Amino acid sequence: MGLKEVKQYAKEELSSDEKILESVLKFESLYKKHKIKIFVALAILALAVIGLWGYSQYKDYKYANANAALLKLVENPDDKDALESLKNNDKALYDLYSYQIASAKSDTKRLQELTSSEDKLVADLSKYTLGAINNKPVDSEYYKDLNAIMQANIAISKKDYQKANSFLDSIPETSPLINIAMLYRHYTLSGVQR
C-alpha cells in the first residue's frame, strides 16, 4: 500500500468512526432530552402487559369455577352452592342452565324472567319456549322457520288455509324444516278442496 492509499483509508475510517460517534451523540442527547417520556412509555407498556396477563388469568379462573359448578349441578341439580357459584362466575352459562331447567319443567315464571336475559340467545329461546307452552306464536330469530310452521298449524286449525300457506311460503328452500313445510302445504291444498 502506498502512502496515498493509507491516507485515504485512514480518512475513510475516521469518517465512518466520526459518523458513528455523531449518531451516538445524537442518540445520547435525544435520550437525555426525553428520558422521562421513555421511562413512562416503558412503564405503561409493562403495566399493560401485566394487566392483560392478569385479566386473562382471572378469566380462566372464573371459567374453571363455572365449569366445576356446572359439573356439580349435572350430578346434583339441587346443589344451591354450585348454582350460586355458576351465577357468580359465568352469568351467560347460568342463564343457559336456568333456561334448560325451566323449559324441562315448563316453568313459565322463570322463562318469563329469562326473556329479559342479557344473553340474546337465551332471551330468544325463552320467548319461543314460553310461546310454545302457551300455544301462542312469537317471533324468534333462532326458531323463525319453526315459528312459521307453528303459526301455519294454528291457521290450519282455524281453517284459514291461505294464511297458513303465507306462513309456509316464508320458509326458505334451504331450511331443514322444508320437508315439514311441504307436508303442511299438501294438507292445506287438500283442506281447500274439502
The pLDDT tens digits for 81-119 are: 988 988 898 888 888 888 888 888 888 898 888 888 888
Q: Residue 91 CB: number of other CB atoms within 10 A?
A: 15
Cell numbers for 46 = 409493562
Say yes or no to pLDDT of 45 above 50.
yes
Entry pTM: 0.59
Instruction: Write the pLDDT tens digit of every residue in 115-161.
Output: 888 888 888 888 888 888 887 877 777 778 888 888 888 888 888 88
Q: Residue 193's pLDDT is what?
A: 44
